[in-house]
Amino acid sequence: MLTQLAAKEWTLEAAAHLLNRAAFGGSPEEIQKLHAMGHAAAVRSLLHAGEDEDLFPAPEIDPMRIQRPRDDSMTPEEVAERRKIIKVQARERTQETRIWWIQRMASTPYPAREKCVLFWHGHWATSIQKVNDPFLVLQQNQTLRAHAFGPFAPFAKEMSKDPAMIRYLDLNSSKVGHPNENFARELMELFTLGEGHYSEVDIQEAARAFTGYRINPETGGFLFSRRNHDAGAKKIFGKSGAFDGDATVDLIVSRPQCAEFLSAKIWNFYVGEKPAGPLNQVLASEYRASGMQTGNFLERIFLSREFYSSKYRRRQIKSPVQWLIQSCKNLERPMPNPKMVQNSLEQLGQVLFAPPNVKGWDGGRAWISSSSLLLRYNLADTLVRGGGDAAPDMEKILPAGTKPPQACDLLAWRLFQAPLNPALREKTLHLLEKNGNSEAARRDIVHLLMSTPEFQLT
């Protein structure tokens, strides 16, 4: 079992760690507010999310316009022109949807749910480049949100019927006599069990169970084609029966490896390290005890002493999305304009709705290269100085006239939630003593601190 964090261990630093990992960080005031709640209440406040749909209404996208490029009355030239228009519309709607979601992540009063949606987006990875329909990826995003904190089995069943997933893994053409194995293979290898915990026969038989899954061309929703479904007897994991897709999901989720695989992946996302064997077994046991409900499991993690271990704090490399949102929260400034957001995430390597492959993003050290690190430093300068948007209020970040030692402490807490290392503190003190009272110099110093390897960690 995971051990409970003691009351005396619920410090401001622990509250900052929770807010950084469970959500996207916060300002000093937000950290203080979370800490004042007490540990259990703080965790509950993050995980028991209310509704914010009225604050962030989803973009309106017409599936008919995207999915039906022609009718019988159109000439070939008109069809070609229509396809060009649809391509432009699809690109614009996709960009609109990306900005809608990033703004929601940055501004929602319930950021832990959006952080969990981001996790599941990388887990159930599909890409607009193949799905080729912004309505379907938006619909999937809403499904991820609806099930983010819920039980896994119903979630997996819903994702097997998700039209974006159906298109991405070629279920739309899978039929009796000719099952497509793509989805069944990825379901076991990447989504539920991990490599080596199934046989080729299991995949082949499971593929038969998912035949007949289709996309409704009129609505963009799920359609079950009974005439294309293989209703015959199947043998999966040594059990025989006329299993359909839902029954197959139940068989998979009941395997002990499923809880082990998922709990390890969730821990890695939130903690930044794959759990070793004994810890993995503890986590799997906790996940099962939670009913494999992700929200309940996360509550157990966020209440545990293990989660707050010093070996995990400020050791996780920020993903581009985390870096951008957390930087803006640190600076208490609004998100940049949509064009900058779009370009920044593209250059940093995390384009929403376009993970590189069905495995999602690798994360960790894969986020950092010499070019991406330089780009982060340059983007930090833009965020600190405004870059065409409202610049952060330096009097709020570091009031003029603050004595250098206190200024170092203020900046260290705001940007790192930890003391500066001795060499960086000495350099910062020198700059503050030299010309730290001018606003331009204070912005330079903030940019300097954001352009350090330490700032890339959370």
**DSSP labels, 1-33:** -PPBPPGGG--HHHHHHHHHHHSS---HHHHHH
Number of helical H runs and strand E runs in the chain: 23, 4
Q: Kindly report, residue by residue over 88-147, the tens digit of the pLDDT.
A: 888 999 999 999 999 999 999 999 999 999 999 999 999 999 999 999 999 999 999 999
Distance CA 1, CA 448 (A): 43
Indicate whether 65 pLDDT > 60: no
The pLDDT, as a whole number, for residue 66 is 46
Q: In percent, how much of the chain has pLDDT > 90?
A: 90
Q: Kindly report, residue by residue over 386-421, the tens digit of the pLDDT.
A: 977 889 999 999 999 999 999 999 999 999 999 999
Distance CA 326, CA 223 (A): 40
Choose from 57-66, 81-90, 424-433 the range with maximum mean pLDDT: 424-433
Indicate whether 63 pLDDT > 80: no
Distance CA 63, CA 219 (A): 7
The pLDDT, as a whole number, for residue 172 is 95
Indicate whether 260 pLDDT > 50: yes
The pLDDT, as a whole number, for residue 73 is 77
Indicate whether 336 pLDDT > 90: yes
Work out the average pLDDT over 170-177.
Answer: 97
Among candidate residues 364, 361, 341, the one with its CA nearest the CA of residue 350: 361
Indicate whether 71 pLDDT > 70: no
Confidence of residue 68 (pLDDT cuts 50, 70, 90): low
Tell me the C-alpha to C-alpha distance, in Å, between residue 373 and each of 20, 277, 346.
20, 33, 14
199 CB-near residues (< 8 Å, 6+ apart) = none
The mean predicted confidence, pLDDT, of the chain is 95
The pLDDT, as a whole number, for residue 97 is 97
Work out the average pLDDT over 158-185.
Answer: 98
Indicate whether 67 pLDDT > 70: no
Indicate whether 268 pLDDT > 60: yes
Distant-in-sequence contacts of 69-74, Cβ < 8 A, 24+ apart: none
Higher-pLDDT residue of 161, 86:
161
Indicate whether 72 pLDDT > 80: no
Tell me the C-alpha to C-alpha distance, in Å, between residue 206 and each of 88, 125, 161, 361.
38, 20, 14, 26
Q: What's the CA angle centered on 313, arms 31 and 309, to 5 degrees?
A: 105
Higher-pLDDT residue of 218, 314:
314
Among candidate residues 244, 252, 149, the one with its CA nearest the CA of residue 192: 252
Indicate whether 437 pLDDT > 90: no
Confidence of residue 77 (pLDDT cuts 50, 70, 90): confident
Cβ of 393: how many Cβ atoms within 10 Å? 10
Higher-pLDDT residue of 81, 331:
331
* Largest separation between any pair of C-alpha atoms in the chain: 80
